[in-house]
A and B are shown apart, each in its own frame.
Chain A
Amino acid sequence: MTHAAVAASAMRPPFPAERGVDVYNKKLGMWVFLGSEVMFFTALIGSYVILRFGAPGPWALPGKVLNIPVTAFNTFLLICSSVSMVKAYAAIANGDQKWLKIWFGLTILCGAGFVAVQAYEYTHLIHHGFLPSGYRDGSELAELAAANPVMYGQAVAGLYGSTFFTMTGFHGFHVTCGVISMLYLYVTRVLPGKYTKDDHAGVEVVGLYWHFVDLVWIILFTIVYLI
């Protein structure tokens, strides 16, 4: 036996490989990635909690600074995109190319709509003087906060601004990545009809990511905008 063969034999596991979780690698990889994403967003939410509970004054009351109707509409858009994504998956699982294209396209539109509305929201907030560093001096919000310091959380405006823009910004970044990924799949795989009833792993894997992004928004919407 050659030296290489002896070395290879020595490195072989002493037991036969066991069956794993019985899912294909891409899906398993996505679930492991989502596990790491849970910890990423937990770190952000944990930082938010500790900053809010330990702040020297109360946070601004819900709806005083942030535009709730616009964000509620955005939440509705994201929920719609989640259902259209799962309908796209159900369509191709039944071999239906036509409805895969329709539902997948709708998902991309809703996702892009979410990003556009968030860009509008940021522009609107910054225009009114809400920045990551707090309320801009001389702005409409700064004047309102000076008149009602408790209601607008004047003492902790910097913490409020930085946590708000960090959390929603990172979420928006994830949504943007999802939209770009879906657009790529739509052009290269969905439109040419490359997904079939027996091979549609890409739809399922990108769908898992997309639903996770929706799930995170459900939590963020409550703790950032409503509480």
Chain B
Amino acid sequence: MHTAQPHKHPNYLLIWLYLFLLTVAELGLAFELPISRNMKLILLLFLAVWKALLVALFFMHLKFERWNLRILAIVPLPLAAILILAVITEHIW
């Protein structure tokens, strides 16, 4: 049976190391770094998205899939972003 698109497997242990180091960075940022709360919030979300992208691109192999499957995977994300932005700005209305 045909499974994934043929591709050279990336260095998964290196991706694991990145994920580990980014998690350590998150913990350091959350509890040790003396910066403003808003800046902390932005940086923590940035690190979380970075880690999520590493998992999606390399572990879920989206980087190596055909463009039409990538679109299928990406389609819910704008809807999710709209929902989150709408509820964040809800108190303005």
Contact = CB atoms under 8 A, between A and B. Distances in A.
B4 interface: yes
A72 B3 contact: no
B26 A211 contact: no
A226 B9 contact: no
A21 interface: yes
Main secondary structure of the interface of B (DSSP, over half): helix
B60 A53 contact: no
A83 to B, nearest CB: 4
A223 B47 CA distance: 11
Contact of A201 (B1, B44, B59, B66): B1
A49 B84 contact: yes
Contact of B23 (A36, A72, A86, A199): A72
B20 to A, nearest CB: 6
Interface in B1-43: 1-4, 9, 12-13, 15-16, 19-20, 23, 26-27, 29-31, 40-41
Interface stretch (A142-150, A172-180, A212-220): A212-220
A83 B4 contact: no
Interface in A1-60: 21-24, 27-28, 31-32, 34-36, 38-39, 42-43, 45-47, 49-50, 53-54
A48 B40 CA distance: 19
Nearest to A36: B76
Contact of B72 (A21, A43, A45): A21
Nearest to B48: A222
A76 interface: yes
A31 B72 contact: yes
Contacts of A68: 27, 31
Contacts of B87: 46-47, 49-50, 53
A211 B12 CA distance: 13
A208 B58 CA distance: 11
A190 B50 CA distance: 33
A101 interface: no
B3 A27 contact: yes
Interface in B38-80: 40-41, 44-45, 47-48, 51-52, 55-56, 58-60, 65-66, 68-69, 72-73, 75-77, 79-80
B84 A42 contact: yes
A137 interface: no
Nearest to B47: A222
Contacts of A82: 16, 19, 55, 59
Contacts of A36: 76
Given A54-B90, A93-B4, A226 B83 contact: no
A27 B51 CA distance: 23
Contacts of B58: 86
Which A-B residue pairs are the 3 nearest by beta carbons? A42-B80, A222-B48, A83-B16
7 contacts: A21-B66, A38-B80, A42-B76, A68-B31, A87-B12, A93-B4, A221-B48
